[in-house]
């Protein structure tokens, strides 16, 4: 297994191991305890990275959902419903009849 623990983590593990050292404990035992602490710290950091990635994924999914919901709301309404197809044409015809009648009355 690749040992990719930082020097800072090693120093911290050794400091904790020495702080909890019992009387009569050998240096080798202290080193073993420090290695165990290093592994624990490394495992904790891995777990935190996984949690951070999961939180980021969830946040991105929520943001994507909000964006898609906002886009759905902004979609134009479909006015080509069968019951209302005649309304624009009727208004156009009425306006032309009004213009023609106004023109005939003034001339």
Tens-place pLDDT, residues 38-78: 999 999 999 999 999 999 999 999 999 888 877 776 666 66
Expressed in angstroms, the distance from the first to the final Cα of the chain is 100
pTM of this prediction? 0.52
Tens-place pLDDT, residues 77-94: 665 556 667 888 899 999
Q: How many Cα atoms sit within 13 Å of 9 on the Cβ side?
A: 15
**Mean local confidence (pLDDT), 12-39:** 90
What is the rounded CA–CA span in Å between residue 33 and residue 10?
11
pLDDT value at 1 more than 50? no
Tokens of residue 101, six digits: 């009648």
pLDDT value at 37 more than 80? yes
């Amino acid at each position: 297994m690749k040992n990719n623990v930082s020097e800072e983590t090693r120093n911290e593990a050794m400091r904790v191991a020495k702080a909890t050292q019992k009387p009569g404990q050998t240096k080798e035992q202290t080193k073993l305890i420090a290695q165990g602490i290093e592994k624990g710290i490394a495992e904790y950091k891995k777990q935190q990275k996984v949690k951070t990635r999961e939180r980021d994924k969830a946040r991105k999914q929520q943001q994507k959902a909000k964006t898609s919901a906002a886009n759905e709301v902004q979609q134009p309404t479909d006015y080509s419903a069968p019951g209302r197809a005649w309304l624009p044409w009727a208004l156009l015809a009425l306006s032309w009849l009004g213009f023609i009648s106004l023109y005939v009355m003034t001339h």
